[in-house]
Structure 1
């Protein structure tokens, strides 16, 4: 059932998804690959926002789904994604799901010692399979000050410098029925610049030469940084990656894969909150809203937001500290200076709230909020706010130890 904006305002706090912008973001990645490489795929990073509607809609638009746990793998299958359209990453896969993925034709990138042991077990079954290997190398050596760990190194994948990568390649080649078919290059960086992706591409080429690798796919991972409407930047990422990879690989023989998360889902999502109270102290004015900081800033890092005020006031206030609904002092979303005065019953609409928000929303004091999809000015509810029934499910409680 479609409802109006006025009806949506009765459901605060709530997330609002711009359906057309989400589609546009995905299409730009798909078109970039088609234009600059030719053969490839976009695999949406489900951990970034695993709302079932988002995963299902992206799948319907032709994208694959990238998952990093047995639970996410099961979720992808539950919403109708074929195994062959799933990219299975991460260091904590379970053995049963790992074997299922190999047997069912999913793209599997190994990332741990036990997965290598499991490959040897699977090889004895006599079933053919191909796997990718996640690469770990010293990015700081070629892109100084880009590490998120301040020189502490990346903990994912098989390290090139210490010989682990070489050993994995050697052991896979000794198997009768398993082939090394791809490299997985995902890494996080501070700036997520073009240079980072150029260096990742160069590393693919150098490893292919050094170890004489013939690859069916190259998975460049995600961590792209694209501001709202900067569609040209998506194409620039793909162009720079492709220009380097073409020096060693042929698009007719090797698929190019990318795994965008926030670059797809951050910009199409907004978060709507309502003002519940305004309180003055001898220090500040505090504006209390029904949407807490952890709903849209789960890492507790942001000090400012892109926002829109819905208020009839034209008076300017020197300072207003916007707070959430919890009883924590740190639940302060932002400080407005020389902005229109906000009062009880007004609304604040925050933009750019799709990445890692719903996936990391806590069950703290209040439960998961409503989610609506907006299309042409109308709204459809795709998740109903959690209440007691949802919270109590599978819990033991009460004097009689009831299970709900």
Structure 2
């Protein structure tokens, strides 16, 4: 293939151009299994997930729609549970949470991490065991802390000295004892987008180990009435493929753990190493499987504990994206197709769909990469380097920056984007007064509504300007 243009274009003479990682597929109709849920398949150009053909799903439920593969979600949850059998596995609810998912997690024996009063309310509605809930957040309100203590959540991860005081006051007033973990920043630069790297010093989360703030926070929790010190919590970021960051963080967090034993006189029983395990959005991504992660992380922790002569604490991790990300895809209908001529004889094909940044903000926010496939029919047309864009009034309203799609893509076709389970529906908005799509569950050839499509009535329900 000729030398790639950095933006990924096709020349008017038909020669293909793309970013260095994008290659013309031998069969643009084929699926790359790593990018899709395990029940996804294609026959005669038609995508099926969970035994449900996408044209049939769209006829019944409309488009755009998020499609959630129940069997895949459960299998990924179980894979983490079994690989980390000696750990507590907390699903990170911020990736995607609803009552159905919370019930699946409870049934499969996982714990649940929430980071707002709303997520806690979903867990309560689902009947999730509260002793298996952890409550995150850098600025929990007094009301949120009160509700967490009332419900008996298993642990609250504190993030500031103000919160320690606030939580101790709430616990004392309610006559309860609440388990507490102290979130620390280990000063690790995770190799990910700056907005989702969370263990370096200059950001809002946690207590710095280097400055001594983390040790002071541990002392205050230990001394506070109504609080039970469980351990330290560290999270280095998201969409991480390399365990080297976990190794550096574990070394620094365990050093603090040992210092607490020596200086505070308490051996904390637990430690949370966070989550952030990456998934494949394109063929350039190479994620580790849960068993490999478990082996590598356990080896790191055990080695450091031996070196420090401390007992290995009860460990926990927090996968979210790694479970739900590949379990969901989004299906759209194509509305318009444009070939735009650019300087130098370059051509870019824009495929506009009936959704966009209101249902997937990650491309605009994080410059995230996605893949796509035509989901409704076969095509013998040569592949064309295309850009899938949304319907919103933003030039940055891009769903898939670069993908080879059949050169005869036309209005009415369905296009499906894999890997949209994490941070797509959970970050969806009503920008341009768009209606948020439904989440449609699929299993064994049947569909079921997990979250219904919003309606105009929903949109106007909070608009009280006209009676």
- 2:81 corresponds to which residue? 30
Change in Cα spacing, 1:225 to 1:179, as seen in structure 2 (3 Å) is: same
User: Is the 1:197–1:237 contact (alpha carbons within 8 Å) kept by the matching residues of 2?
Assistant: no
Partner of 1:363: 430
Which segments of 5 or more consecutive residues in structure 2 lack a partner in the other structure? 1-50, 343-347
State whether residues 183 and 217 of structure 1, in contact with CA within 8 Å, keep that contact through their aligned partners in structure 2.
yes
How far apart are residue 292 of structure 1 and its match?
Answer: 1.5
Match of 1:110 in 2: 158
1:72 to 119, 122, 128: 119
Counterpart in 1 of 2:64? 13
The 1:202/1:340 distance shift into structure 2, 3 A limit, reads same
CA 1:189–1:397 in structure 2 vs 1: closer, same or farther (change >3 Å)? closer
Q: Give SS of 2:140's match.
A: coil
**Deviation at residue 121 of structure 1 after TM alignment:** 2.5
1:218 paired to 2:275: no
2:33 equivalent in structure 1: none
Structure 1 segment 152-191 matched on structure 2, within 5 A: 153-188=202-237, 191=240
Give the deviation of 1:391 after TM superposition. 1.4
Question: Residues 310-355 of structure 1, C-alpha deviation per residue, up to 9 Å, x if partnerless?
Answer: 3444222645443222233322333445743201221111111111
The whole-number CA distance in structure 2 between the counterparts of 1:64 and 1:198 is 24
Q: CA RMSD in A?
A: 2.9
Contact 2:155 2:178 in 1 (8 A): no
Distance 1:384 1:164, change over 3 A: same
The verdict on how the C-alpha distance between 1:186 and 1:316 changes in structure 2, with shifts beyond 3 A counting, is same
Indicate if the aligned counterparts of 2:238 and 2:277 stay in contact, CA closer than 8 A.
no
What aligned pairs does 1:232-381 form with structure 2 within 5 A after superposition?
233-247=289-303, 248=305, 250=311, 254-280=313-339, 282-283=341-342, 284-300=348-364, 301-302=366-367, 304-309=369-374, 310-316=376-382, 318-333=384-399, 334-337=401-404, 339-365=406-432, 366-381=434-449
Aligned to 2:102: 55
Instruction: Give 2:181's match in structure 1, choosing from 125, 132, 135.
Output: 132
Following superposition, the deviation at residue 32 of structure 1 comes to 1.3
- Structure 1 residues not aligned, in runs of 5+: none
Deviation at 1:192, TM superposition (A): 4.4
For 2:255 and 2:242, locate their aligned partners in 1 and report how far apart those are by CA, in whole Å. 21
1:98 match: 145
Q: How many aligned residue pairs are there?
A: 389
User: How far did 1:367 drift?
Assistant: 0.6
1:105 & 1:133 partners in 2: Cα distance? 15
Q: For 2:461, which of 393, 398, 404 is the aligned residue?
A: 393
In structure 2, what is the Cα distance between the partners aligned to 1:303 and 1:341? 26
Give the structure 1 partner of residue 194 of structure 2. 148
Q: CA deviation at 1:357?
A: 0.1
Separation of aligned partners in 2, 1:210 and 1:3: 56
Distance (whole Å) between structure 2 residues aligned to residue 49 and residue 82 of structure 1:
18
Which deviates the most, 212-221 or 82-91?
212-221
Output the CA distance in 2 between the equivalents of 1:318 and 1:191. Answer: 31
